[in-house]
Amino acid sequence: MRRTSFAGWPCSIARTMDLLGDWWTPLVLREAFYGITRFDGFQQELGIARTTLAERLRRLVDAGLMEKRAYQTEPVRHDYVLTEMGRDFFGVLAAMNAWGNRWLSGEAGAPVVFEHERCGHHSEAAVVCADCGEPMTAADTRPRMGPGYPKRLAERPDIRERFTR
């Protein structure tokens, strides 16, 4: 069954979800941040079916988040290494981890915390304004049309209303 594609939607959240596609893809990226680079390592850590893993890795390579680097020629075997685009996804995973630690941790506490090597403290992701440094919350942040929003949609009254609430 073919799923709906959000790749053409004028929304970066929808486009990102179109790229991720399912729950396995962010977990593959998580393992890459943990230092896993080999197919068998991903498969062992995640317990994912080999065919599913092969598809997720192919999708990540095709999208530019990972690249394949041969480490053996007979037979050919590859490492899967994060690209700059892939490394930049860390903020998304860190935000998910912070949210999960706050809302889904049991009585024992957070299952995974991040240590910031520069200062040596355990910390978590925080969404802050890149201009003023203040926290951004749903209560004080509004979506607005960016320069890439399609003009044909921007002219629709329902769309204009959506971005002026």
pLDDT one-digit tens code per residue, 38-87 = 999 999 999 999 999 999 999 999 999 999 999 999 999 999 999 999 99
Q: Quick check: is 165 in a domain? A: no
Give the number of domains in the chain.
2
Given this model, what pLDDT does residue 3 score?
67
Q: Quick check: is 132 in a domain? A: no
Q: Quick check: is 140 in a domain? A: no
Q: Quick check: is 68 in a domain? A: yes
Long-range CB pairs of 9-12 (<8 Å, 24+ gap) are 10/148, 10/149, 10/150, 10/153
Given this model, what pLDDT does residue 20 score?
86
Q: Is 65:90 a contact under the CB 8 Å cutoff?
A: no
Q: Are residues 21 and 73 in the same domain?
A: yes
Q: In angstroms, rounded to a whole number, what is the distance separating the alpha carbons of residues 16 and 92?
A: 10
Q: In angstroms, rounded to a whole number, what is the distance separating the alpha carbons of residues 142 and 126?
A: 17
Q: What percent of the chain has pLDDT over 90?
A: 89
Q: Quick check: is 150 in a domain? A: no
pTM: 0.89
Going by C-beta distance under 8 Å and a sequence separation of 6 or more, which residues neighbour residue 38?
71, 77, 79, 80
Q: Which of the residue ranges 21-25, 27-31, 100-104, 146-150 would you say has the lowest mean pLDDT?
A: 21-25
Give me the domain span that covers residue 103: 90-123
Given this model, what pLDDT does residue 2 score?
54
| DSSP symbol at 38 | B
pLDDT one-digit tens code per residue, 47-57 = 999 999 999 99
Q: Are residues 28 and 73 in the same domain?
A: yes
Question: Which amino acid, residue 64?
Answer: G
Q: Are residues 76 and 102 in the same domain?
A: no
Q: Are residues 66 and 19 in the same domain?
A: yes
Q: Are residues 16 and 79 in the same domain?
A: yes
Q: Is 154:160 a contact under the CB 8 Å cutoff?
A: yes
Q: Are residues 94 and 32 in the same domain?
A: no
